[in-house]
Amino acid sequence: MKDHRFVLNDKAIAHLPAADGTQYKVRDSELPGFFVLVGKRRKTFMAQGEFWRDGVREFAVQVKLGDFGEMSTRDARSKAKDALGSIARGQRPGEAAKARPGAITLRQAWSDIATRT
């Protein structure tokens, strides 16, 4: 089954048939980069964005947002907008989550050591 494109909502996703062998994507026609990956056992909300530098595409990234049934399409769309926005700003997915408040970078640590000597 090839990829499809239409407005994603809970009712439409519930009626999607399970994949028979190979996973397939159903892309949202309203929000580019937001789609549902349909497998044999589950339907997973995903977001896909691209990193660009100087007009050249460096790479594409896909982010799992959650599984259908555990979250609504509305919640998944909101998470997709956040994920796609951070990708558009040049942040890699999960990068901001790793930074803890008050944590310092290696560059800051070396600079502190250099100023003490």
CATH number at residue 86: 3.30.160.390
Domain membership of residue 48 as a residue range? 4-116
pLDDT tens for residues 82-95? 999 988 888 877 66
pLDDT tens for residues 35-59? 999 999 999 999 999 888 788 888 8
* Token code pair at residue 9: 């909502």
112 residue type, one letter: D
pLDDT at 116: 81
Give the total number of structural domains in the chain. 1
48 CB neighbour count, 10 Å cutoff: 18
Q: What is the pTM of this model?
A: 0.74
